[in-house]
Each structure stands twice: as structure tokens, then as C-alpha cells.
Amino acid sequence: MPEIYGSDCYSPKEIAEHVESVGVTKANLPVFSMAALGVLAGGFIGLGAMYFTLVVSDPTLGFALSRVLGGVAFSLGLILVVIAGAELFTGNNLLVMAWVSRRISLAKLLKNLVVVYFANLFGAAGLAMLVAWSGHLNMSGGAVGRMAVTIAAAKCDLPFAEAFFKAVLCNVLVCLAVWIAMAGRNVADKILAIVFPISAFVAAGLEHSVANMYFIPLGIFVRDNAAFADVPHLAALTWAGLFHNLLPVTLGNLVGGAGMVGLVYWVIYRRPTAPK
């Protein structure tokens, strides 16, 4: 097929080949490595979420500006995952390409997604505990802590359908960020590729399962502070509320990432064609 998108970066067809090959490597990682890298990814996304919370807690910023700047700050999480190296459940939805090409088994696909998912939860919730203990939430006269609890409570109160569709849209953007980052030939290329899709999903208020593994536990850890007693939807902020959020968000992330990015690009670039 002749090249139709001339540029210095890798072509979409080359990206598809690379994503599939990387998927094979990821699926064949030893379980310990897979889990350890998953813990790192959960912590990395948590660091981006911590940065986001700090930015949006500033009451002097207008709505759109705070969301956009917060989204740029949140991009730190995926930048660390892609550049430093880690295993992220939402990005690993692209392993579906290697599965439909029959280069990995369904068992290996599911093993990777399950191990990485729970490792992400451990890493993100563990970072949330450290942040709660650190006194970080006392910054700006407690405004950072109040924002953290407000974010967490609102997520726990989302209706199932709304959470699901926000998650679908979210992981379309996350997987596209991973996709176009693979087009880059150097670190600067990859960072720039990540920032716009990630800041878009954050600014739009979409739902990311791994980010919520940080946001909601953090809110639960500090919710009993009397200063937060009047936060809306506080009663929903419980461990059951975490499950209430993660179930639709995880399903939506799978549909958006595996279905609407991975499978679509597989059909376009990797589907076997009949010989002429």
C-alpha cells in the first residue's frame, strides 16, 4: 500500500503493526513483571490526578481554563506510563489487536487485563493513602482537600449509564493518545502526542477507571474531616460507591479502547485480505 500520509513520524499502518507486536510482548510478560509494572502505572496515573486536583482547586481560574490546565497537568500520568514504562489497563485494551490476529490467546489477553487492572488499583489506592497521610490536602487553606473530596463524591454518585458512556469516550481518547504517541520518534514527539487527547478527556469530565482508583479512595480516606461535611453527595462516598463507579467505568473503557480504537484499526490495517 503506498504511503498516503507523508511525514517524519511512523505511518498509521506502521503504528498498527507496532501496536500489535507490542501487544504480544505485553501478553507474554512474567506475572511478577506485569503486576509490578501495573502498580507503577496506577501510581503514575495517581500522580497526574494529584496534579490535576491541585490546579482545579484554584478558585481564581475560570471554568474552562481550570479544566484545560488541569487536563494538561493530568497528562503527566500517561507521559510517565509511556516514557518511563508501565502497564496501564486502559492502554492495554489495545492488546485486542494481537488477539484478533491470533498472535496471543484469549487466556493471555484476559490474564494481562485482569492482572494489570488489580495492580493498577493497588498502585493508585496506595498513592492515595500516601497523599492522605502527607498533609498535601491542607494546601491552599484546605481547598485542595475539599476539591479532592468533591471530585470523589461526585464520581460515586454518577448514574450507571452516564458513567458508562463517559468511560467509552474517555478510553477512545486515551487509546488514541497511546496510538499517536507510538508515531513519535523521540521523547518530545511522544509527550506532545499525549497532551492533547488526555487534556481533552479530562477537560470534558470523562471517566477513567484507573484515575478513579486514586480519586475515590483518596476521598474515602479523608471524608470524615468535619470541614468536608457539607460536600454534595458525601453519603455516596464509600467503598461500595467505588464499586458502583468502577463497574460501569471499566466496562465503558473496554468498549471505547478495545472496541472503538483497537478493533477499528485492526479492521482497517491488519485484517487479512483475500489474495487477488
The whole-number pLDDT of residue 276 equals 56
In the chain, the domains with their CATH numbers are 12-137+160-270 (1.20.1080.10)
Contact 250, 209 (CB under 8 A): yes
Res. 87: pLDDT tops 90: yes
pLDDT in tens, 254-276: 999 999 999 999 999 998 875 65
The whole-number pLDDT of residue 273 equals 73
Concatenating the DSSP letter of every residue in 152-220 gives HHHHHT--HHHHHHHHHHHHHHHHHHHHHHTT-SSHHHHHHHHHHHHHHHHHTT---HHHHHHHHHHHH
The whole-number pLDDT of residue 221 equals 98
Would you place residue 9 in the very low, low, confident or very high pLDDT band (cuts 50, 70, 90)?
confident
Contact 169, 208 (CB under 8 A): no
The whole-number pLDDT of residue 4 equals 53
Cα→Cα distances 255→53, 176, 227, 266, Å: 27, 14, 39, 15
Residues in the chain, overall count = 276
d(CA 234, CA 96): 38
Q: Which residues contact 65 (CB under 8 A, 6 or more apart)?
A: none
Mean pLDDT in residue range 41-62: 97
pLDDT in tens, 89-99: 999 999 999 99
pLDDT in tens, 90-145: 999 999 999 999 999 999 999 999 999 999 999 999 999 999 999 999 999 999 99
d(CA 104, CA 83): 25
Contact 134, 222 (CB under 8 A): no
d(CA 100, CA 218): 38
The whole-number pLDDT of residue 1 equals 46
Report percent pLDDT > 70 for the chain.
Answer: 96
Would you place residue 2 in the very low, low, confident or very high pLDDT band (cuts 50, 70, 90)?
very low
Mean pLDDT of the chain: 95
pLDDT in tens, 166-185: 999 999 999 999 999 999 98
Mean pLDDT in residue range 15-42: 97
